[in-house]
């Protein structure tokens, strides 16, 4: 049988929150003093019977953000509401918009911003307001899309962010992954590439997303890897990729040989960065997000509610 006080507190809550009665009026109805009513309401709240939710595409979940800050190594977190969202695309859009907002409010404004590329980053670029900053040098930190897709996606992202920041973009003129280590080393040592890589290593802040490890990965899409190769990586423990490098649940490189052929910033450099903003949302990216956060690959995580709970290890 349910406790009498519990039932009373529910009746009180109904009158308070649905009928907008004052605690005094409720007291009159239920034959209680107004103080008792106040206590019942507090009890109902404490028991979790009262659920207050902010439903809006731009709503954030501050409570979850705080939990992330407290229970992980993150220095900051942005968690967008997943209320009323059915698709992963929608979640990613919300997170991207939130990342744009975060970037706009970021102080100090980074002189140099290192960015990766991909669908999510592109959306972040779209979400930024023209003039969001006054002069930021945007640098690509990993090799770009260029094999068999529309050439310009990666470049366009960097350029858009830079233009809207009234700054300049520095592109990394190189593929993401090369077939032979020798080629990679050669390209890397080329002055045009080396300069950009050095600039990227010294960026004041980083902004990047992550990809899940499956056949829908952007690296497969761009033709750098085949679905079979990714499947093999998964077999070796890969949960996803970050700046073109596949990691396992511990945040370690899965395939050293492949990694040696990948051009771009190294994970250690990212780990040392004072500001590394990861934008990762959608149900397919829970595992990567968790790996990235727990291994300290980012200092700030922009994500959705469900992914945040997964990172906290509270998957329902």
Q: Out of 9, 23, 137, 299, which residue is the one contacting DNA (CB under 7 A)?
A: 23
CB of 106 to a second copy, least distance (A): 16
Per the document, the length of the chain is: 316
Residue 34 or 119: the one with the smaller Cβ distance to DNA is: 34
Nearest of 235, 231, 253 to residue 244 by alpha carbon? 253
Q: Taking CB under 7 A as the rule, does residue 47 contact DNA?
A: no
Instruction: Decide which of DNA, a second copy, none touches 256; Cβ closer than 5 to 8 Å per partner kind.
Output: none
Q: Is the peptide bond before 108 cis (omega within 30 degrees of 0)?
A: yes
Strand partners, 211: 241
Q: Does 38 bind DNA (CB under 7 A)?
A: yes
Q: What is the contact surface with a second copy in residues (CB under 8 A)?
A: 2, 6-7, 10, 13-15, 17-19, 44, 48-56, 58-63
Nearer to DNA by Cβ, of 47 and 183: the residue is 47
Considering the complex, state which of residue 63 and residue 256 has its C-beta at the smaller distance from a second copy. Answer: 63
Q: Which is nearer to DNA, 37 or 277 (CB)?
A: 37
Q: Helix 88-105 vs helix 119-127: angle between axes, to the nearest 10 degrees?
A: 50
Provide, rounded to whole angstroms, the least separation between the CB of residue 283 and a second copy.
21
Query: Is the Cβ of residue 23 or residue 120 nearer to DNA in the bound state?
Result: 23
Least distance to a second copy, CB of residue 243, Å:
31
Question: Does position 16 bind DNA by CB under 7 A?
Answer: yes
Piece in contact with DNA (CB under 7 A), picked from 30-38, 49-57, 202-210, 211-219: 30-38
- Near DNA by CB under 7 A: residue from 12, 15, 41, 91: 41
Which tokens in the block code for residue 99?
Answer: 């990342």
- Exactly one of 8, 10, 30, 34 binds DNA (CB under 7 A); which one? 34
What b/e sequence results for 205-230 when a residue is b if at least 16 CB atoms lie within 10 Å of its CB, and e otherwise?
A: bbbbbbbbbeeebbbbbbebbeeebb
What is the SS3 assignment for 273-294? CCCEEEECCCHHHHHHHHHHHH
Residue pair 184/259 in contact (Cβ under 8 Å)? The answer is no
Question: Which residue is listed with tokens 């990216």?
Answer: 285
C-alpha of 106 from chain center: 15
Tell me the C-alpha distance between 103 and 129, whole Å.
11
The nearer residue to a second copy, 62 or 194, going by C-beta atoms, is 62
Per CB under 7 A, 53 contacts DNA: no
Beta bridge partners of 238: 248
Binding residues for DNA, rule: CB under 7 A, are: 16, 22-24, 32-36, 38-39, 41-42
């Amino acid at each position: 049988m349910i406790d009498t006080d519990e039932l009373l507190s529910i009746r009180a809550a109904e009158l308070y929150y649905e009928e907008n009665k004052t605690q005094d009026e409720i007291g009159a109805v239920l034959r209680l003093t107004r103080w008792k009513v106040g206590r019942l309401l507090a009890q109902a709240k404490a028991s979790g019977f009262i659920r207050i939710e902010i439903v809006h595409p731009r709503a954030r979940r501050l409570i979850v953000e705080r939990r992330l800050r407290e229970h992980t190594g993150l220095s900051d977190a942005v968690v967008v509401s997943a209320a009323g969202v059915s698709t992963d695309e929608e979640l990613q859009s919300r997170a991207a918009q939130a990342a744009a907002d975060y970037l706009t409010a970021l102080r100090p404004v980074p002189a140099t911003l290192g960015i990766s590329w991909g669908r999510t980053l592109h959306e972040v670029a779209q979400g930024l307001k023209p003039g969001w900053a006054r002069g930021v040098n945007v640098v690509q930190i990993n090799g770009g899309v260029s094999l068999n897709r529309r050439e310009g996606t990666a470049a366009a992202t960097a350029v858009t962010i830079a233009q809207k920041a009234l700054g300049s973009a520095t592109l990394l003129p190189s593929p993401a992954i090369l077939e032979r280590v020798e080629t990679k080393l050669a390209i890397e040592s080329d002055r045009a590439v080396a300069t950009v890589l050095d600039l990227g290593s010294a960026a004041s802040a980083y902004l990047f997303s992550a990809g899940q490890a499956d056949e829908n990965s952007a690296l497969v899409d761009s033709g750098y890897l085949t679905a079979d190769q990714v499947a093999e990586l998964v077999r070796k423990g890969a949960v996803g990729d970050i700046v073109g490098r596949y990691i396992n649940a511990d945040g370690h490189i899965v395939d050293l040989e492949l990694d040696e052929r990948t051009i771009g910033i190294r994970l250690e450099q990212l780990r040392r960065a004072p500001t590394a903003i990861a934008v990762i949302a959608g149900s397919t990216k829970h595992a990567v997000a968790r790996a990235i956060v727990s291994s300290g690959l980012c200092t700030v995580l922009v994500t959705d509610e469900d992914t945040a709970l997964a990172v906290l290890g509270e998957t329902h």
